[in-house]
Structure 1
Amino acid sequence: MNTTGTSSASPTPAELGFRMPAEFAPHDACWMLWPQRPDNWRYGGKPAQATFVEVAKAIAESETVFIGVNDDQYENARHQLPDHIRVVELSSNDAWMRDVGPTFLTHPDGRLAMVDWEFNAWGGLSGGLYFPWDKDRRIRLKIAEMLGVQRFFTPLVLEGGSIHVDGKGTLITTEECLLNPNRNPNMTKADLEKLLGDFLGVTKVIWIPRGCHQDETDGHIDNLCCFVAPGEVVLTWTDDESDPQHAISREALEVLESSTDARGRRFTVHKLPMPGPLTIAEAEASGVDRLSSSRPRQPGDRMAGSYVNFYIGNTVVVMPRLDPTHDDEAKAILEGLFPGRRVIGVDAREILLGGGNIHCITQQQPKA
């Protein structure tokens, strides 16, 4: 396993021919982590663990699934998960593999590599969601060692949920997240675009102003908008002009409709209805430990629920079921967009209570 830094003498991943493929490209595996943090997951994570098991089982219909587990939960996780899901000891501070895990790259000659971004728990000591995050910072290195692949390290603070790519040179992200001063305060938009190009092989960045309303990640793109094919995206949407999400989604739509991708194509935007609005119930909040080092979960707090937060596998799309009023409509839209994949809905409120959803707890390992 080789590690490459960011010195001017070292060629960038893009210069070496590596790039980040789209999520809808073929995978070899999916990586997840096991929830147990009692100040984020109610009742010691037991309800969330049951939901993670269902997500893992759905994805495992399509590809190999690895679940990283802290040692004190290893036997419990192994007992709950089917034998064909691979449980590995991989310590973490919490279970958001999309953000703490590696961003995988592929090369035309068949090699697999990864980007090891810096991680500061969504804002560090200025708005971050928990402390410490030392175990999370080691996850990329450990996975690189397990797989024996080249690791490109960069001190750029970036979470995987803040970016989506089409695999053809285009990346979408939000200004709210990547330009937030609690991530990389000394970097300009131009600086970030250069680094994204250097490490992911993209040539065009589409900047959406904001992410979903009340998204505690500072507006990750994967909760608002994602690629379903080159030149095609889905966007969370509400027609309710009194809802704060309406203005956010309208802004995003205007940017997308006035932009072209790296190949010069206009975007086709498919609207996915917003669930809810969804709020935390009294019984749900009361099961969470209250610690000064983590974000509180209060009754009545609005959650950033979104059907866009789904996972695209080789033969399945695993989507959250969040609201009986809109679940079937969202599923039907996704079935129309992914005719070659089976759309599986998983009751995912327990993941949303922790601050994210199915895309946030998964990380695809592309086929090398």
Structure 2
Amino acid sequence: MLQKITDSKPVNDGYYMPAEFAPHDGTIMIYPVRPGSWGKDRSGALKAFGDIFIEILKRENLYLLASKEDFEEARLFVDTLLVKLKVQGEDEDVLKTMEERCLILPIESDDSWARDVGPTFVTDGEKSIRGINWSFNAWGGDVDGLYASWEKDDLVAGKFLDMCEIDYYDAAPFVLEGGSIHSDGEGTVMVTEACLLSEGRNPDLSKEEIEKTLKKYLGAEKVLWLPNGIYNDETNEHVDNVCAFVAPGEVVLAWTDDEDDPQYEMSLEDLEYLESETDARGRKIKVHKLPIPDYPVLIDQEDLDNYEFEEGEDQREVGERLAASYVNYYYINGAALVPQFGGDNEESDKRALEILRDLCKNREVIGIDARSILLGGGNIHCITQQIPEN
């Protein structure tokens, strides 16, 4: 019977947050419809989402959330993707497996950031998983939140866990997004001070109190507090855009050698911090630099004209620099999906793939055109939330 656990914490029950590179049962995503993120013309975003859907379905389950109003459109969209694969000659048995792996759930949301509004999963290491339901307030609430209403998003995690009959811990009213935490699966969790100490999250808690909460819910023994994230990241600099574990004791760090780029000092501070620290097992942390795009990805007039913002929603302007980073890639079973930005950044796109292929030797490293997702305010990692194997 489904249980909402209120009298204990994951650490007391032997549960911990696994590494993202650990085996998955599947991935949660949300069908994109919000015009302030994906535009009046959503074709670019749907192409990117569709490419990701296909790569996931080849390897693991996809839990796609859609409101009742958009449910049929989402179903037809997935059906169309599979039909295209059939026309291209994909094996019938493979297509049947892919179709069976796609579960579309009638859950409404304010937008499509599954990483941030979905549940965080913890495991006991013996095939049992539980969820965590955090409070969500649109990355800053009334202080600097990105839209005025976030009530639907705040309910997504609980609804998903209820619908899938997964026991869970209710961490409310503690505010946290999935993109603001990263785990090595061996007791170490990374965050950024810029995000977790921002005024719009948990202003009544000290850094020490926030760390204790993370340790209790994530089963962590040590929290690494990187100073910064990516320049101009509207999430108050989530860690998932600047630094990620590729293995226990090893991370990739967003980097630039251009000392005139505002990212340089930010990444340098992070590098100096990481080089001065050890992980929960006492290991020195090996840092692999993963350069950001050679050229800033900027909003142009055509992009701006496609947006349709709601009242109270954070708006954009021509020339605005987007928080483009290759660190915001996503592990699925047997593969890693890596953002590609195109245009002047073809060479840096290729370089990122080469670096990650060297680091992920047992995975297929796949580039995904992610500019449309970046225009929405995030990247591949932001629109996905993994469910560990159970």
C-alpha contact (below 8 Å) 1:40/1:294 kept by paired residues: no
The separation in 2 between residues aligned to 1:109 and 1:41, in whole angstroms, is: 40
Q: Could you tell me which residue of structure 1 aligns to residue 120 of structure 2?
A: 103
The separation in 2 between residues aligned to 1:254 and 1:61, in whole angstroms, is: 40
3-state SS of paired residue (2:372) = helix
Alignment match of 1:226 (pick from 244, 247, 270)? 244
Q: Could you tell me which residue of structure 2 aligns to residue 342 of structure 1?
A: 364
C-alpha contact (below 8 Å) 1:37/1:45 kept by paired residues: no
Larger displacement relative to structure 2 (51-60 or 163-172): 51-60
Larger displacement relative to structure 2 (50-59 or 195-204): 50-59
Deviations 1:303-327 (A, max 9, x none): 0000000101111100111131201
Is 1:14 aligned with 2:32?
Answer: no
Q: Could you tell me how far 1:292 is from its partner in structure 2?
A: 2.7
Alignment of 1:1-368 (within 5 A): 1-5=2-6, 10-81=7-78, 82=82, 83-84=99-100, 85-154=102-171, 155-275=173-293, 276-322=295-341, 323-368=345-390
The code of the aligned residue for 1:304 comes to: A
How large is the Cα RMSD of the aligned pairs? 1.1
The separation in 2 between residues aligned to 1:60 and 1:131, in whole angstroms, is: 34
Q: Could you tell me how far 1:29 is from its partner in structure 2?
A: 0.6
C-alpha contact (below 8 Å) 2:148/2:311 kept by paired residues: no
The separation in 2 between residues aligned to 1:197 and 1:11, in whole angstroms, is: 13
C-alpha contact (below 8 Å) 1:37/1:44 kept by paired residues: no
C-alpha contact (below 8 Å) 1:61/1:316 kept by paired residues: no
Q: Could you tell me how far 1:59 is from its partner in structure 2?
A: 2.0
The separation in 2 between residues aligned to 1:109 and 1:215, in whole angstroms, is: 37
3-state SS of paired residue (1:351) = helix
Percent identity over the alignment? 45
Larger displacement relative to structure 2 (50-59 or 119-128): 50-59
Deviations 1:98-152 (A, max 9, x none): 0000000111343210110010000011110112111111111111112211110
Larger displacement relative to structure 2 (76-85 or 249-258): 76-85
C-alpha contact (below 8 Å) 1:98/1:362 kept by paired residues: yes
C-alpha contact (below 8 Å) 1:116/1:140 kept by paired residues: yes
The separation in 2 between residues aligned to 1:144 and 1:78, in whole angstroms, is: 21
The separation in 2 between residues aligned to 1:97 and 1:357, in whole angstroms, is: 11
C-alpha contact (below 8 Å) 2:179/2:382 kept by paired residues: yes
Q: Could you tell me how far 1:65 is from its partner in structure 2?
A: 1.0
- The 4+ residue runs of structure 1 with deviation greater than 3 A are none
The code of the aligned residue for 2:155 comes to: R
Deviations 1:191-214 (A, max 9, x none): 011111110100101111111000
C-alpha contact (below 8 Å) 1:235/1:269 kept by paired residues: yes
The code of the aligned residue for 1:334 comes to: L
C-alpha contact (below 8 Å) 2:240/2:327 kept by paired residues: yes
Q: Could you tell me how far 1:44 is from its partner in structure 2?
A: 4.9
C-alpha contact (below 8 Å) 1:272/1:333 kept by paired residues: yes
Aligned length: 364
Q: Could you tell me how far 1:63 is from its partner in structure 2?
A: 1.0
Deviations 1:13-39 (A, max 9, x none): 111111110001111011000111112
C-alpha contact (below 8 Å) 1:59/1:318 kept by paired residues: no
The code of the aligned residue for 1:98 comes to: R
3-state SS of paired residue (1:40) = helix
The separation in 1 between residues aligned to 2:104 and 2:349, in whole angstroms, is: 31
Deviations 1:38-58 (A, max 9, x none): 122212533212211111111
The code of the aligned residue for 1:58 comes to: E
3-state SS of paired residue (1:302) = coil
The separation in 2 between residues aligned to 1:232 and 1:12, in whole angstroms, is: 28
The separation in 2 between residues aligned to 1:110 and 1:164, in whole angstroms, is: 21
Q: Could you tell me how far 1:367 is from its partner in structure 2?
A: 0.7
C-alpha contact (below 8 Å) 1:310/1:359 kept by paired residues: yes
The code of the aligned residue for 1:360 comes to: C
3-state SS of paired residue (1:72) = coil
Q: Which 5+ residue runs of structure 1 have no aligned equivalent?
A: none
The separation in 2 between residues aligned to 1:109 and 1:25, in whole angstroms, is: 13
